[in-house]
């Protein structure tokens, strides 16, 4: 995690809409925008939508989370990333992941929290966006949990968090294990 006074790189600055000078400003404006998107998406009318597990909805949610901040909000990345799928296959990958998740929920393949956590892990591993992949995937998981009337996921806030930022290494390790097929630590971290 970069310190709040760390400058924004020139490459990032070209993608940003507002004029910001440091990482703390960027994190603050992103947090406000994500909170506004969360308020919108958790409204009963939105949670009842039948398109929650579609590519169009995933893009709409990302756009709402980062509009006014990143020029490419709601648009898939066009450059190679590691981890991540090839840019030309991202739309296909998102559709496959969301179709799988829809089937998990429809047929009860996994309990709701586990299905949501698996959806989160797969979206992050695909890495469809230039920015905000984990935050978007966590909010997508939260949306499907809420749409099924289940208790919210905690994402590391229920345990012994310790100092601010101490949940991040636990999250990253849990994601590494989930990438290798062991979902236990990520389920525990998410509180599912």
Model pLDDT for residues 101-129, shown as the tens digit of each residue: 999 999 999 999 999 999 999 999 999 99
Please say if the pLDDT value at position 149 is more than 60: yes
Q: Which tokens in the block code for residue 110?
A: 């996994």
The 3-state DSSP class for residue 157 equals coil
**For domain 12-153, which CATH number applies: 3.40.50.620, 2.40.10.10, 3.40.710.10, 1.10.3290.10?**
1.10.3290.10
pLDDT, one tens digit per residue, over 72-105 is 999 999 999 988 999 999 999 999 999 999 999 9
Task: Note the pTM of the prediction, 2 decimals.
Answer: 0.93
Rounded to a whole number of angstroms, the distance between the first and last alpha carbons of the chain is: 26
Question: What is the average pLDDT value for the chain, to the nearest integer?
Answer: 94
What pLDDT shows up at residue 161?
Answer: 46
- All structural domains of the chain with their residue ranges: 12-153
- Collapsing DSSP to helix, strand or coil, 16 comes out as strand
């Amino acid at each position: 995690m970069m310190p709040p006074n760390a400058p924004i790189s020139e490459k990032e600055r070209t993608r940003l809409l507002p004029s910001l000078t440091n990482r703390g400003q960027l994190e603050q404006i992103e947090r406000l925008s994500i909170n506004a998107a969360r308020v919108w998406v958790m409204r009963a009318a939105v949670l009842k939508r039948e398109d929650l597990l579609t590519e169009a909805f995933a893009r709409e949610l990302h756009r709402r989370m980062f509009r006014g901040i990143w020029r490419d909000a709601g648009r898939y990345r066009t450059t190679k990333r590691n981890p991540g799928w090839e840019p030309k296959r991202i739309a296909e990958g998102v559709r496959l992941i969301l179709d799988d998740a829809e089937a998990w929920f429809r047929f009860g393949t996994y309990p709701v929290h586990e299905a949501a956590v698996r959806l989160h892990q797969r979206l992050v591993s695909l890495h469809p966006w230039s920015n905000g992949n984990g935050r978007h995937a966590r909010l997508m998981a939260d949306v499907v949990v809420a749409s099924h009337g289940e208790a919210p996921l905690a994402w590391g806030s229920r345990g012994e968090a310790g100092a601010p930022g101490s949940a991040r290494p636990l999250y990253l390790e849990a994601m590494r294990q989930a990438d290798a097929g062991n979902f236990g630590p990520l389920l525990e971290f998410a509180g599912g």
